[in-house]
Chain A
Amino acid sequence: MPERHQGARVVLLAAMLLAGCSSHQSATSPPSVTFGSGATTPGMPGMSGMPPMPNMPAATSTSSTGSPAPVAGNAVNIDNFAFVPATLTVPAGSTVTWTNKDDEPHNIVANDGSFRSPGMGSQATFSHTFPTAGTFDYVCGIHPFMHATVVVTQ
C-alpha cells in the first residue's frame, strides 16, 4: 500500500502546450470576470483583489452528542465505515444510541427525514427515540454509501 504513494509527482498533461510557468509573460492585463447572476459576485477576493470581507458571526452550533453510554441491545456502532448491526430490531418506545468508533466523522440521516444527527467526531454518540413501529432506513450523510436499518416493532 505505501509504495503506491511513492513518487506521487505524477503530472497529467492534457495538452501538448503548457505555458503556465513561464516567467516570460507578455504584458497583457488579467482577464476580467463577468457574472450572470447580478450585482453581487460569488466567491471572495484574493489578496490582489479587494480587502478581505468581514468575519462571519461566530454562531455556536453545539451538538447534542455525547449523551449517556449506549445501552446493550439498543446500540449501533459505527466501525470501519459500517453500521453494526446493519439491521437493529427494537420495540416501540426504545432509544437507540449510535457510537462512532472510527477516527473519521460520520452522522445519521433517516431516509424519510424523521431524524438527523449532527456531525459525529470520533467516539461521539447520538441517540434517537422511536415512539412508533416501522422500518427506518438511514445513511451516513457524509459517506452515504454507508446504510442500515432500524426495525421498530409494536
Chain B
Amino acid sequence: MTDDPHTMNRRQLIRHSAWFGAAVGLAVVGGEVISHVAGTAQASHVQGRPALRFAQVSDSHIGFLGKANPNVAGSFSQAIERINNLGYTPDFVIHTGDLTHLATPEQFDQVKQMMTGLRTPHVFTVPGEHDSVDDAGQKYRSVFGAGTRGDGWYSFDIAGVHVIALVNTLNLKKLGHLGADQLDFIAKDVAALTNDTPIIVFSHIPLFAMYPDWGWATDDAAQALSHLRRFSSVTCLNGHVHQVFSKTDGNVTFYSGTTTAYPLPHPGDGPAPKPVTLPAGQLHDALGIREVSYIRGHDTLALKEQALQ
C-alpha cells in the first residue's frame, strides 16, 4: 500500500490543504481521471467548442545545466510538441515565466526561437525572476516587451474574457511584488468592466500565499485582488513553484502550474527550494503542460494537466 502512488498523492494533497488551510480543488489521480475526463468531454460535445481554450507552459529555465534535468531544451521541445498535438489549435499559449535560467541574450534568443514553433495565433509571456536577474527585466522586455506597459504588464480581451498579465518579479525584497504603478494599472484596467466579465490573471510568482518562507507569495497581492473582488469569476494562473497546486479564496481561484524543466520540493520539504533530482525515468512525470478552457456561463474554468511522459 505504501508504494501506491495514488495513495501518496492523496495524502500529500490532504497534508497541503492542512498546512495552508486552503480549499483544494477537486483532484483525481492517474487513470481514474483520464476516464472521467473522457466521459465529460463526450458529454460536452453537444455544446461545441468552448468560448476560449488556451494552453499554459511555465518555467522552461532554458540554460539550466544541473543534474535535475540535463536537457531542459529537450523537455521544453516536448512540451511544445504536446501543445501542437492537442487535437485543436489553442487560442493562445501563455508562458508564465522563467523562460530562461540566467537571462542571458543567448538564452532569450533560444527560448524565443523555440516558441515560434508553437501552433497558435498568439504566444504571451510574463517574466520570472530568472528572466530579470541583473537588469530589472530590460533584456526580457527587449525581446518580449513590445506593446506592454510599465515594466512589461498588459491586458487584452478575448472571447468576452478579460485577461491581465502581471509582472511581480522585480524589486524583490522577500516576496513577489507588483508595485504602486501596476496596482494603479489594474484598478483602471478593470474599471469599465461589468461584474460578470470573466477575469483571468497571469503572473509568475503566486498571488496567494503558497509558502512565503521560500518567497512563494506576493507582498501586495491583496491590493491587486481588492480590485477584482466584485467580479463573479476570477482565475489566477502562476508558475514559479514548479508543481501543480490550487486554492480558492472567495470569488478567486488560484492555480500554480508545473514546469517543463525540473521539479522543486513541496513547500517546506527541506531547507530550500533546490532542484529535485528524481530517480531515472521519473522526471517527465513531474513536468507538463496545462490546458484551460472557458465555457460561457460557467464561473469556473476547466483545467487539465498533462504530464510530459
Interface residues of A (CB under 8 A from B): 1-26, 28, 30-49, 52, 55-61, 63, 80-82, 102-105, 107, 111, 116-119, 121, 139, 141-145, 147
Contact segment of B37-45, B70-78, B220-228: B37-45
Chain B hits for A32, CB < 8 A? 158
Chain A hits for B121, CB < 8 A? 30, 33, 45-46, 48-49
Partner of B144, one of A11, A43, A45, A147: A43
- Shortest distance from the beta carbon of B82 to any chain A beta carbon, whole Å: 12
Pair A47/B304 contact, Cβ less than 8 Å: no
Partner of B115, one of A6, A23, A46: A46
List 24 interface pairs A-B (beta carbons < 8 Å), by A numbering: A1-B269, A6-B3, A8-B285, A9-B30, A9-B285, A13-B27, A13-B33, A14-B25, A19-B41, A19-B44, A22-B45, A22-B88, A26-B48, A35-B155, A47-B117, A48-B120, A48-B121, A55-B112, A59-B139, A61-B104, A103-B66, A139-B173, A145-B214, A147-B174
For B130-159 the 0/1 string (1 means CB < 8 A from A) is 100111000100111111110000111111
Pair B125/A43 contact, Cβ less than 8 Å: yes
Chain B hits for A118, CB < 8 A? 133-134
CB of B122 closer than 8 Å to a CB of A:
yes
CB of B268 closer than 8 Å to a CB of A:
no
For B258-289 the 0/1 string (1 means CB < 8 A from A) is 00000101100101111110110010011010
Chain B hits for A121, CB < 8 A? 102
Pair A36/B156 contact, Cβ less than 8 Å: yes
Chain A hits for B109, CB < 8 A? 55-56, 58
CB of B21 closer than 8 Å to a CB of A:
no
A104-B274 contact given A11-B304, A20-B302, CB 8 Å threshold: yes
In the docked arrangement, what's the CA distance between A80 and B273, Å?
10
- Shortest distance from the beta carbon of A105 to any chain B beta carbon, whole Å: 5
CB of B208 closer than 8 Å to a CB of A:
no
In the docked arrangement, what's the CA distance between A119 and B256, Å?
26
A19-B50 contact given A12-B246, A37-B148, A40-B146, CB 8 Å threshold: yes
Pair B6/A7 contact, Cβ less than 8 Å: yes
Partner of A48, one of B34, B119, B275: B119
Pair A10/B276 contact, Cβ less than 8 Å: no
- Shortest distance from the beta carbon of B51 to any chain A beta carbon, whole Å: 7
- Shortest distance from the beta carbon of A46 to any chain B beta carbon, whole Å: 4
Partner of A28, one of B12, B49, B113, B147: B49
CB of B295 closer than 8 Å to a CB of A:
yes
- Shortest distance from the beta carbon of A42 to any chain B beta carbon, whole Å: 4
Partner of A56, one of B103, B134, B143, B266: B143
Other contacts beyond A36-B154, A147-B174: 10, CB < 8 A: A5-B276, A14-B235, A14-B303, A24-B45, A31-B91, A33-B122, A37-B154, A46-B123, A81-B271, A82-B271
